[in-house]
Structure 1
Amino acid sequence: MMSKRFQGKVVIVTASTQGIGYSIAQRLGLEGASVVISSRKQENVDEATEKLKGQGIQVLGLVCHVSNAQQRKDLIYNSLEKFGKIDVIVSNAAVNPMAGKNTVTIMETQESILDKMWEVNVKAPVLLTKEAAPHLKKGSSIIFISSISAYNQPLPWAMYAVTKTALLGLTKVLAAELGPDLRVNCVAPGIVPTHFGKILTTNESLKKVILSSSLLKRFGTTEDIAAAVAFLASDDASYITGETLVVAGGTPSRL
């Protein structure tokens, strides 16, 4: 039986119609939360919404590209209109235009790519937090989803990894700014077989390298990451803020 730590709570999870984001929304919903899920595509939103409703979860599905200012505002407004409050924000949305490309150093990365990663991976979480914070009451929780690559910046994902490193610092600063009323934490997932990380989990040579660095010798699951988020967002973690929880099977994770 799933515990009900989020009974009566309202949770927003960005980029949550598949992969890690979906599992986070599902886990919190099964623990009693009303969840607001979002994606850039209406068809993905509709499909995920129906799946969650089929599991008895109260859910609102919205189209939201997190770098679009109006869509961010609509995400907050419609969540409040539907459920009357917001208790947890999980910033999961990210882009990596270099995924699947040949090795490109940071010095070779085009300015348009740098701008896109900065807009979605760093700036959007800041602005979403800024827009949501006035509506969050004492005891509310904000979670950023970083990556193990924040600690180990691999080519050709180096610039993506740097944006994820930025979230570690952002977590510390916002925890200080928004405390003591709000808690701000971060989860850094290891390699998980999702569409986003497909190149890392299907290439045999890359798989060997990745698994050799993991003490548990396996990839993570989306459920592993969702469980960590559920802990940090819950009252079980009421004395934890400004921290990053690495969920990567023992992969080295120190700057």
Structure 2
Amino acid sequence: MISSRKESNVKKAVVELQSEGLQVAGTVCHVGKAEDRKDLFEKTKTNFGGLDILVSNAAVNPVVGPVLDSTEEIWDKIFDINVKSTFLLMKESMSLLKCSKSPSIIIVSSIAGYQPFGLYESEEAHDAAMSRISMRRLGTSDEIGSVAAFLASSDASYMTGETIVVSGGMHARL
């Protein structure tokens, strides 16, 4: 089941994956809306009979800069989507995941959680950010997706509660 808050993203992903011969469906889901999350899991159960893997990748970053410079409104938005919605997705998916023989929850986050950088502030900021990445580029969706696929596979069946940093060599430490 594919979801995004934008219908055009859902349609594009479904068409692309179906063209590869995959059985896939999609729905609009704004993770900050309880009704959308409920609908997502109901449609997942209807279309696929259950849920084996939850990948939470939704996040916002409405401003660029030090977190302590954020307004309360901005902080609330970041916290509500990036933290609270991930928690609610996990909580609300449990009844389906408990029925799976090999359930997985994968939370995708930004390297900026470890090492903030101003990628889009200016060309100079972009160049400075790229210079901090050993591979001198951002990762592709396939590269990130491959790590998620590994984590959901039987090859990672004994892994739990780990943080895997996929950063192209960018220094990442809390």
Is TM > 0.5 for Structure 1 vs Structure 2? yes
1:207 aligns with 2:126: yes
Map of 1:9 onto structure 2: none
The whole-number CA distance in structure 1 between the counterparts of 2:3 and 2:157 is 27
1:147 aligns with 2:110: yes
Map of 1:132 onto structure 2: 93
Map of 1:11 onto structure 2: none
The whole-number CA distance in structure 1 between the counterparts of 2:34 and 2:10 is 19
Question: Are the counterparts in 1 of residues 117 and 129 from structure 2 also a CA contact under 8 Å?
Answer: no
1:93 aligns with 2:54: no
Q: Which moved more, 1:209-218 or 1:73-82?
A: 209-218
User: 1 or 2, which has the higher strand percentage?
Assistant: 1
1:51 aligns with 2:16: yes
1:115 aligns with 2:76: yes
The whole-number CA distance in structure 1 between the counterparts of 2:133 and 2:12 is 34
Of 66, 70, 91 in structure 1, the residue corresponding to residue 31 of structure 2 is 66
Paired residues for 1:34-45 under 5 Å? 36-45=1-10
SS at match of 2:37: helix
Question: Are the counterparts in 1 of residues 3 and 27 from structure 2 also a CA contact under 8 Å?
Answer: yes
Q: Deviations over 1:43-79 (max 9, x none)?
A: 3322322222122111111011001001101111110
1:106 aligns with 2:84: no
For residue 208 of structure 1, report the CA deviation from its aligned partner. 2.8
SS at match of 1:82: helix
For residue 138 of structure 1, report the CA deviation from its aligned partner. 4.2
1:249 aligns with 2:159: no
The whole-number CA distance in structure 1 between the counterparts of 2:117 and 2:124 is 15
% identical aligned pairs: 45
Gaps of 5+ in 1: 1-35, 156-196
Map of 1:233 onto structure 2: 152
Of 215, 223, 230 in structure 1, the residue corresponding to residue 142 of structure 2 is 223
Q: Which moved more, 1:42-51 or 1:108-117?
A: 42-51
Of 36, 48, 69 in structure 2, the residue corresponding to residue 83 of structure 1 is 48
For residue 139 of structure 1, report the CA deviation from its aligned partner. 2.2
Letter in 2 for 1:245: I
TM (norm. structure 2) is 0.89
The whole-number CA distance in structure 2 between the counterparts of 1:49 and 1:139 is 24
Report the RMSD for the aligned CA atoms in angstroms. 1.8
Letter in 2 for 1:219: L
Gaps of 5+ in 2: none
For residue 235 of structure 1, report the CA deviation from its aligned partner. 0.7
Count of residues paired in the alignment:
172
SS at match of 2:138: coil
